[in-house]
């Protein structure tokens, strides 16, 4: 018997804390699990969306890393790598800077004040753009 895969949803939310009063919530099958972990690379002041910049870049990075599970975790440093500590990754993850930039440009910069994305939508974007078979 196979169980139905969990539907993970990312959505904008307002908060009294956080940076600029906005956070991204993560919900599994509609049950909020917490806020999306900020995978800091470009924007120490937090994640944002709706324009091009460092905040949206970090949201793109954080969404891609979370949505792909452990797929992008660096096998050399097991995700621990600081910005200068590991030569095999950036910040513990082997996410290409081109992919991060493309997701920011094509998806995150176009998000409105209120939005939601599913993990499936993110993975489909990724597969369409970086289909492993495309290099065969």
Among 6, 88, 98, 114, binds Zn ion (CB under 5 A): 88
Q: How far is the CB of 93 from Zn ion (least distance, A)?
A: 8
Among 74, 107, 108, 117, binds Zn ion (CB under 5 A): 74
* Whether 47 contacts 37, CB under 8 Å: no
Among 24, 36, 86, 108, binds Zn ion (CB under 5 A): 86
With CA atoms as reference, report the closest residue to 23 among 121, 114, 120.
114
> Is residue 22 a contact point for Zn ion (CB under 5 A)?
no
Element (H, E) at 12: strand 8-14
Alpha helices in the chain (DSSP H): 54-67, 97-106, 119-130
Among 55, 56, 81, 91, binds Zn ion (CB under 5 A): 81
Rounded Cα gap, residues 106 and 46, in angstroms: 20
The interface region with Zn ion, picked from 4-12, 13-21, 35-43, 67-75 by CB under 5 A, is 67-75
> Is residue 95 a contact point for Zn ion (CB under 5 A)?
no
């Amino acid at each position: 018997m196979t169980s139905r895969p969990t539907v993970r949803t990312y959505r904008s939310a307002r908060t009294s804390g956080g940076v600029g009063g906005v956070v991204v919530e993560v919900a599994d099958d509609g049950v909020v699990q917490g806020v999306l972990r900020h995978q800091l690379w470009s924007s120490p002041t937090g994640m944002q969306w709706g324009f091009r910049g460092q905040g949206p870049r970090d949201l793109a990075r954080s969404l891609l890393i979370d949505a792909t599970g452990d797929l992008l975790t660096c096998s050399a440093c097991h995700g621990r790598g600081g910005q200068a500590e590991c030569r095999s990754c950036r910040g513990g993850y082997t996410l290409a800077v081109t992919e991060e930039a493309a997701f920011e440009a094509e998806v995150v910069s176009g998000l409105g004040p209120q939005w939601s994305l599913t993990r499936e939508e993110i993975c489909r974007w990724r597969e369409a753009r970086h289909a492993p078979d495309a290099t065969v």
